Amino acid sequence: MTGPGARRVAALQLNSQDDVGANLEACRALVEKAGQNGAAIALLPENFAFFGADEGRYAVAERLGDADAPIQRALADMARASKLTVIGGGMPIQSDDPKRPYNALVAFGADGALVANYRKIHLFDVALADGTVLSESKGTTPGDDAVVVDVADLRLGLSICYDLRFPELYRKLVDARADVLLVPAAFTVHTGKDHWHVLLRARAIESQSWVIAAAQWGKHPRGRTTYGHSMIVDPWGTVVAEASDGVGLIVADIDPEYSARVRASLPSLDHRRL
């Protein structure tokens, strides 16, 4: 059951490569489909516009707010055309270091205006058991600030991928009154198969918030393979929508009143001592 304040949201699942134009066309088709399904918000995954080598990332990095920059202009056009908020879940935005752009979430309202941006705080530097070695900090400047934004009568807390492993960030977002948490991602298969579902449900349960997670899926340049399984989880930890393998989208109606009811019936957020 959903109340009058419910809003339909869409999480898009992509298989982005290193061709910006082709990636943006794939995004455009799915955003249009989200709009046709009545979504007020469409969340794109991390690396939606470019998924390739660091040299390519800083070559396509854009100045934040540049209305003529190809990626941001495309997102604004998609938002206006489909009359919904489009949230690009992670793209290269210029920093003071031209070879280490931010990995930034950018949100464009239904009028095409930039309404929020968040710079990924936690960077993925690991050597996995399957032989994959990733050093995100080598080509990315980290952000510092937790960000919330009001969109479509929802208060969104913003994060990107590896942030999911740091619950203190989500505590900060909830303290800023977020009741919907966004997790655009490009989780590896190796970590995703064991941790993706568990972490998303844990963040929803402990935060008593909706979680919307849009994921990359399949094979990408440089031998990367991502897990997929885009997901929408309710504040009780129930998965209300999940994508299978492949490119596509999931939709669900999310109701902030349900968050309020869960928080009232089990007031764990009020019981914190530390």
Strands 114-119 and 102-108: antiparallel
> Which of 27, 46, 62, 136 is the catalytic position?
46
- Residue 83 annotated in active site: no
Active-site pick, 161, 193, 206, 242:
161
> Catalytic residue at 27?
no
Catalytic residue among 27, 62, 120, 136: 120
Mention every residue, 6+ apart, whose C-beta is less than 8 A from residue 238: none
DSSP string for the chain = ---TT-EEEEEEEB---S-HHHHHHHHHHHHHHHHHTT-SEEEPPTTSS--S-HHHHHHH-B-TT-TTSHHHHHHHHHHHHHTSEEEEEEEEE--SSTTS-EEEEEEE-TTS-EEEEEE--S--EEE-TTS-EEEHHHH-B------EEEETTEEEEP--GGGGG-HHHHHHHHHTT--EEE--B--BHHHHHHHHHHHHHHHHHHHTSEEEE-BBEEE-GGG-EEE---EEE-TTS-EEEE--SSSEEEEEEE-HHHHHHHHHHS-GGGG---
Q: Is there a catalytic annotation at residue 120?
A: yes
The angle, 0 to 180 degrees and rounded to 10, between the axes of the packed helices 189-207 and 167-175 is 30
> Closest by alpha carbon to 142, among 164, 157, 127, 120?
120
Rounded Cα distance, 127 and 165, in Å: 16
Residues marked active site are found at: 46, 120, 161
